[in-house]
């Protein structure tokens, strides 16, 4: 079934500014806004006599944003009961109480920041949903960039969420982040839509806690959903004593109409892509990958005895099976990469993909010696594959033949081949990695 829960909505709020006109400059309490391009802004309303302005401070900048661009002062241009526009010649912040839009034109000093949607986040109180989160980090693709993720700008970043329900059989997800009030949450649907939800106080039933969520302003029972969290995490790491995993979403009016979320205390990574979903878990101390296709005819693929490499904040999971290799790149900070999964088949086919949403954690139990693949070895594998290609592929013409010869020298392929025996010996008898090495042995002259 297609489990459609949330609907697109446009909710406008009236903007309000407190206090009478004063001769002295008065700053209102700061508000924070999270934007769809990854920025987090702090907005201070300032009133100086009859003049109003907005001081924007960039708490989190996007990758392309200049280091010097850390704050802006925008005067009030016009306003009404429903919205207020603060702008200069080069920048604009359109405020609709808890929703906003921001843009900045390119200048000699600053790069252009295209229009992005923002929403207020509550920094002073906790949303009840926020207490129910597994140790780890959740990210969702920016809704405004969803239509063409493969052509996303270089400043793109994933948006952090507090919890995500992954529906692997249908290839969709629902992510929840903090709203502008304790009883609010932002909901992101993985088709690029986002909603403001009202979340009722939770009800605890044994090891399970439940929260009722509904679209802001919609009180109809048949449109309410129930979020089910399980606190049965056994001895796994927790974010807090009352932490839990989002395990199920159901209809308020019919509890039997529900959808199970992909979750588990041993889950290390989960991501939903356009055509498949990927789960990585610790199974009896071993890293295990499962690849699910979103079509009913697709059969799940499983690969065991995986390895984890690490480069800075980037976790790289490596799985081998016969001549197949799957790599999963999980960035702990939500930075955008050209792809997050790379699948290479023994028959030469393969693909790369970008996730719509993902969960990532690296508990200490992953870092056993048998689960590790040094980054040096991972880098050597890439060179080995390149050398195999340059040494065995038949060139089209003399120009390509010369190119392959130059690349063979550039990659120091003779040294790569000399290192093969040592890497083979370290790979472990009977391991999937050793079997993969056998099929990729550098048997060229």
| CA geometry: angle 15, 19, 25, nearest 5 deg | 105
Q: Are 311 and 379 in contact (CB under 8 A)?
A: no
pTM for this entry: 0.75
Nearest Cα residue to 251 out of 216, 217, 220, 230? 220
Nearest Cα residue to 272 out of 140, 132, 161? 140
For 191-240, how does the pLDDT look when each residue is reduced to its tens digit (9 = 90+)? 767 777 878 766 666 667 778 888 766 778 887 888 888 776 544 444 44
What does the alpha-carbon distance between residue 380 and residue 325 come to, in Å, rounded to a whole number? 15
For 363-384, how does the pLDDT look when each residue is reduced to its tens digit (9 = 90+)? 555 656 667 788 888 888 888 8
pLDDT of residue 93: 93
Evaluate the CA torsion angle 179, 185, 189, 190 in order and state its sign: positive
Residue burial 181-199, b: 16+ Cβ < 10 Å; e: rest: bebbbbbbbbebebbbbbb
Edge-to-edge strands, sheet with 341-344: 307-311, 314-321, 324-331, 341-344, 350-353
What does the alpha-carbon distance between residue 360 and residue 122 come to, in Å, rounded to a whole number? 24
Q: Is 48 helix (H, G, I), strand (E, B) or coil?
A: strand
Q: Which helix (H) or strand (E) holds 391?
A: helix 375-392
Q: Domains in the chain, start-ordered, CATH in brackets?
A: 22-118 (2.40.128), 122-373 (no CATH), 376-439 (no CATH)
Give the ranges where 92-196 is alpha helix by DSSP (H).
none
pLDDT tens, residue order, the chain (445 aa) = 333 443 332 222 222 222 333 334 444 567 888 887 778 888 888 887 778 888 888 887 765 555 556 788 889 888 877 788 999 888 899 988 778 899 888 777 677 888 888 888 876 656 666 666 667 788 888 776 666 656 666 666 788 888 888 887 677 888 888 777 767 777 877 776 777 787 876 666 666 777 888 876 677 888 788 888 877 654 444 444 456 778 888 888 888 888 888 877 778 889 888 888 888 888 877 888 998 887 777 788 888 888 888 777 778 888 888 788 888 888 877 877 767 888 888 777 777 888 888 888 865 556 566 677 888 888 888 888 888 888 888 888 888 888 888 888 888 888 888 888 888 888 888 788 888 888 888 887 7
CA dihedral 384, 390, 391, 397 (to 10 degrees): 180
What does the alpha-carbon distance between residue 281 and residue 264 come to, in Å, rounded to a whole number? 9
pLDDT of residue 92: 92
Query: Within 10 A of 241 (CB to CB), how many other CB atoms are there?
Result: 7
């Amino acid at each position: 079934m297609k489990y459609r829960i949330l609907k697109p909505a446009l909710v406008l709020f009236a903007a309000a500014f407190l206090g009478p006109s004063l001769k002295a400059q008065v700053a209102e309490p700061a508000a924070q806004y999270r934007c769809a391009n990854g920025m987090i802004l702090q907005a201070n309303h300032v009133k100086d006599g009859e003049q109003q302005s907005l001081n924007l401070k960039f708490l989190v900048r996007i990758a392309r944003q200049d280091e010097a661009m850390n704050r802006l002062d925008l005067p009030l241009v016009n306003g009404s009961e429903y919205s207020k526009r603060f702008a200069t010649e080069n920048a604009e912040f359109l405020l609709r109480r808890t929703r906003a839009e921001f843009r900045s034109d390119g200048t000699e000093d600053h790069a252009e920041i295209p229009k992005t949607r923002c929403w207020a986040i509550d920094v002073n109180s906790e949303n009840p949903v926020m207490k129910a989160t597994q140790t780890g980090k959740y990210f969702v693709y920016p809704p405004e960039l969803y239509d063409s993720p493969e052509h996303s700008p270089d400043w793109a970043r994933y948006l952090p969420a507090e919890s995500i329900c992954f529906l692997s059989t249908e290839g969709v997800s629902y992510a929840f982040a903090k709203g502008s009030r304790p009883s609010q949450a932002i909901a992101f649907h993985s088709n690029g839509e986002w909603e403001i939800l009202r979340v009722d106080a939770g009800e605890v039933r044994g090891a399970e806690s439940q929260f009722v969520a509904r679209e802001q302003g919609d009180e109809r029972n048949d449109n309410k959903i129930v979020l089910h969290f399980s606190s049965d995490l056994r001895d796994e790491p927790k974010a807090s004593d009352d932490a839990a995993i989002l395990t199920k979403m159901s209809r308020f009016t019919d509890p039997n109409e529900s959808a199970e979320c992909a979750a588990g205390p041993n889950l290390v990574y989960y991501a939903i892509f356009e055509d498949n979903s990927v789960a990585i878990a610790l199974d009896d101390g071993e890293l295990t990958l499962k690849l699910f296709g979103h079509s009913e005819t697709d059969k799940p693929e499983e690969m065991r005895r995986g390895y984890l490499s690490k480069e800075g904040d980037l976790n790289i999971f490596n799985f081998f099976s016969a001549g197949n290799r799957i790599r999963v790149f999980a960035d702990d900070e939500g930075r955008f990469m050209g792809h997050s999964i790379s699948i290479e088949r023994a028959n030469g086919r393969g693909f790369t993909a970008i996730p719509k949403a993902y969960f990532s954690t690296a508990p200490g139990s992953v870092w056993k010696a048998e689960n590790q693949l040094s980054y040096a070895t991972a880098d050597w594998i890439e060179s080995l594959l390149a050398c195999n290609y340059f040494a065995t592929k038949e060139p089209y013409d003399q120009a390509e033949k010369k190119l392959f010869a130059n690349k063979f020298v550039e990659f120091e392929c003779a040294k790569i081949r000399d290192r093969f025996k040592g890497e083979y010996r370290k790979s472990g008898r009977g391991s999937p990695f050793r079997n993969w090495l056998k099929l990729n042995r550098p048997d060229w002259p």
